[in-house]
Amino acid sequence: MDSSEIERLLAAYYDKDMHYESGKILGSMYSTPPEPVLRAFFKFYQANLGNPGLYPGTVEMEREVVKFLLRLTSGQASYFGHVVSGGTEANIMALWAARNMGYRRILATEDVHFSVLKAANLLSLPVQYVPMRDFVMDTQALEDMLQDRDIVVLTAGTTPTGYIDPVEDVARVCRTLNCYIHVDAAFGGFVIPFLYPEIKFGFNTEGVKSVTIDPHKMGMAPYPAGGIVARENIFKSIEIDAPYLSTGKNAGLLGTRQSGSVAAAYAAILHFGMEGYRTMVKECMANTKYLWSRAKEEGFEVLADPVLNILNIRVGEVNKVREKLFKMGWGISTYPKYSSLRIVVMPHITREVIDTFLKDLKKVG
Ligand SMILES: Cc1ncc(COP(=O)(O)O)c(C=O)c1O
């Protein structure tokens, strides 16, 4: 086929997909990255950090990204980390390392991301749910359940509500035992430092051993760009011989790694910087509060006051409402457990989008 025919065919598929530019994707933690970031992706799209000896430049960029992730998580430049494909891979790597280091059971709340359950399944680790209070882990309940060699997975910005598990309180409860604390800040890691610098969710709490923090969510990098950072070199415990590679070792889940996204994540960090991220995050939070008050004005019930830029609107027959909204062009996620529509107020969710959405929701909700 010639290129125009290929493009014509691809365009037909492209038109079937939803696009962030329409503003109508309300349930995703992603937004279109700025142009220089996308250019970085294509410049490096053939780099493969699965074989790092061939790509020393990309290795250096990965280290720069990890240093920034460590800054957001109150780590030190000497700590360890990797840019990976997403929060799922990051959580799997942390739990894999924890298991190989001798930790035996996962404790988390029901609002933990499903990737933790996936990791538990892969690693044959049992999971015990800790009851919640006000959408976060109940520390008192945890205290009654905790045993030596447990892995406590906390979420800083849960997927359903954006609430933040009490990392400091949990660490205090864990202090007398040998436990592994992993914090999943896949979403919140690029939000909390800018809205609530006083909240400790990372390495400034003793006992936190690893943190997931994803550039491809609020870091405005293109997929696939997750991040895993750790106080010690936990990755040693999952290292395996890979004799045909330049390094002779491999310490991750994947072999070949798409590494254009490492360059893109680095470009995103350069593009926004701390100030740029702060401005963007504050704008998202202001729009979340706008959605919250407008939804209440329109007579909708809001599940919980927003802490981060995630809001749940409660409706009856939530899956039917989602289907009707989908037919009107809206991509939204639902939490049947909370009977709610969940909106992640990313940068493409402007006040204009919010007003149009609420008008449509009134028709079907
Ligand atoms: C808190 C949390 N952790 C992990 C993940 C998984 O991230 P990914 O989809 O990038 O694998 C998500 C995704 O929404 C999430 O919200």
CATH number of the domain encompassing residue 64: 3.40.640.10
Question: In degrees rounded to 5, what are phi and psi of residue 257?
Answer: -125, 120
Ligand 1 site, residue 115, Cβ cutoff 6 A: yes
CATH number for the domain harbouring residue 356: 3.90.1150.10
Mean pLDDT along residues 325-354: 96
> How many domains in the chain?
2
User: What 3-state DSSP class applies to 307?
Assistant: coil
Ligand 1 site, residue 159, Cβ cutoff 6 A: yes
- pTM of this prediction? 0.98
In the numeric block, the tokens 């004799």 are attached to 243
Confidence of residue 365 (pLDDT cuts 50, 70, 90): confident
Residues with Cβ within 8 Å of 82's Cβ and at least 6 positions away in sequence, in order, are 62, 66, 93, 227, 228, 235, 252
Same domain, 354 and 288: yes
Same domain, 116 and 66: yes
Same domain, 262 and 282: no
Same domain, 58 and 28: no
Residue 6 Cα to ligand 1 middle (Å): 34
- Per residue in 78-96, pLDDT (tens digit) is 999 999 999 999 999 999 9
Which atom belonging to ligand 1 lies closest to the Cα atom of 226?
10
Mean pLDDT of the chain: 97
Task: Report the range of poorest mean pLDDT among 109-113, 214-218, 239-243.
Answer: 239-243
Element of type H or E holding 245: none
Same domain, 49 and 93: yes
Atom 15 in ligand 1: residue holding the nearest Cα: 159
- Per residue in 23-73, pLDDT (tens digit) is 999 999 999 999 999 999 999 999 999 999 999 999 999 999 999 999 999
Same domain, 226 and 320: no
Contact 189, 214 (CB under 8 A): yes
List beta partners, residue 25. 331
Single residue among 253, 270, 287 that ends a domain in this structure: 270
Task: Report the range of poorest mean pLDDT among 35-39, 50-54, 161-165, 168-172.
Answer: 50-54
Single residue among 270, 298, 323 that ends a domain in this structure: 270
Residue 333 DSSP one-character state: E
* The pLDDT of residue 245: 87
Same domain, 189 and 157: yes
Atom 16 in ligand 1: residue holding the nearest Cα: 159
Same domain, 182 and 313: no
Same domain, 261 and 171: yes
Contact 180, 191 (CB under 8 A): no
Comparison of pLDDT for 49 and 365, the residue scoring more: 49
* The pLDDT of residue 83: 98
Q: Which domain holds residue 351?
A: 3-33+273-364
- In angstroms, the Cα distances linking 104 to 182, 220, 239, 263, 288 are 14, 35, 19, 36, 39
Same domain, 92 and 202: yes
Which atom belonging to ligand 1 lies closest to the Cα atom of 158?
1
Single residue among 250, 270, 290 that ends a domain in this structure: 270
Q: What percent of the chain has pLDDT over 90?
A: 98
Element of type H or E holding 29: none
Distance between CA atoms of 137 and 319, rounded to whole angstroms?
27
Same domain, 28 and 78: no
In which region does residue 130 sit, left (phi positive, over 0), alpha (psi from -120 to 50) or beta (all else)? Answer: beta
